[in-house]
A = this chain, B = another copy of it.
Amino acid sequence: TLAAPAIAQQNPKVTWRLTSSFPKSLDTIYGGAEDIARHVSEATDGNFTIQPFAAGEIVPGLQALDAVSAGTVEMAHTCSYYFVGKDPTFAIGSAIPFGLNARLSNAWFYQGNGNKLLNEFYATHNVYSIPSGNTGAQMGGWFRKEINTVDDFKGVKMRIAGIAGRVMEKLGAVPQQIAGGDIYPALEKGTIDAAEWIGPYDDQKLGFHKVAKYYYYPAFWEGGLIIHSFMNLDKWNELPKTYQAALTDACAFANTNMMAKYDMKNPAAIKQLVAEGAILRPFSQEILEACFNAAQEVYAEISGSNEWFKKIYEDQVAFKREGYLWMQLSEYTYDTFMMIQQRNGKL
Q: Name A's B-contacting residues (CB within 8 A).
A: 1-4, 6-7, 10-11, 39, 42-45, 98, 101-104, 106-107, 109-112, 136-140, 199-200, 217-220, 223, 240-242, 244-246, 248-250, 252-253, 255-257, 259-261, 263-264, 266-268, 270-271, 280, 282-283, 285, 288, 292, 317, 319-343, 346-347
Say whether, besides A139-B330, A219-B330, A334-B220, A253 and B263 are in contact (CB < 8 Å): no
Q: Which residue of A6, A260, A288, A331 has the most chain B CB atoms within 10 A of its CB atom? A: A331
A107 neighbours in B (Cβ, 8 Å): 259-261, 263-264
A270 neighbours in B (Cβ, 8 Å): 325-326, 329
Taking a contact as CB atoms under 8 Å apart, the answer to whether A326 and B43 are in contact is no
What is the bound-complex CA distance between A259 and B134, given in angstroms? Answer: 15
Say whether, besides A256-B106, A324-B347, A334 and B44 are in contact (CB < 8 Å): no
Instruction: Tell me the smallest distance from the CB of A98 to a CB of chain B, in Å.
Output: 7
What is the bound-complex CA distance between A339 and B320, given in angstroms? Answer: 10
A340 neighbours in B (Cβ, 8 Å): 285
A200 neighbours in B (Cβ, 8 Å): 326
Taking a contact as CB atoms under 8 Å apart, the answer to whether A342 and B330 are in contact is no
Closest to A340 in B: B285
What is the bound-complex CA distance between A252 and B242, given in angstroms? Answer: 17
Say whether, besides A242-B42, A250-B249, A259-B106, A342 and B329 are in contact (CB < 8 Å): no
Which of B109, B112, B256, B267 is A322 in contact with, Cβ under 8 Å?
B267
Taking a contact as CB atoms under 8 Å apart, the answer to whether B267 and A330 are in contact is no
What is the bound-complex CA distance between A333 and B268, given in angstroms? Answer: 19
